[in-house]
Amino acid sequence: MVVGAIEKQGPYGFGPLEKSNKYNTKATLAKIVGDSYDGVKEMNDQKFTETFQLFNWNVTKEAAFQKAFEHQTHHRGQTTVCLRVRGIKPPEERLF
């Protein structure tokens, strides 16, 4: 979602990174996330109002970022539950 919105194709492509053996370390995943943040920093306010094709929908870039945040939050919740089921205390969240 973010890659489409920032108009910057990274070397990672678009698809399930978890199925690739190339992206299976914490450092590599942190770099992928960092690269997407760098792309967002390069955007100005006008860019957020532009539309683009995301899957089968024509959406604003702002809407794509909102959906990406929602999706990330969903997975954070899943991870928290999985850790707690295994008796592991999840790391504290830094909201602000």
Residue 19: in which H helix or E strand, if any? none
The answer to whether the annotation marks 74 as part of a ligand binding site is no
Give the pairing type, strands 51-54 and 57-60.
antiparallel
The answer to whether the annotation marks 75 as part of a ligand binding site is yes
Give the sign of the dihedral formed by CA 9, CA 18, CA 24, CA 32.
positive
Calculate the dihedral angle through the C-alpha atoms of 56, 61, 67, 71, rounding to the nearest 10 degrees: 100
The conformational region for residue 92 under phi > 0 = left, psi -120 to 50 = alpha, else beta, is: beta
Query: Binding site: residue ranges?
Result: 71, 75
Query: Binding site for a divalent metal cation: residue ranges?
Result: 71, 75
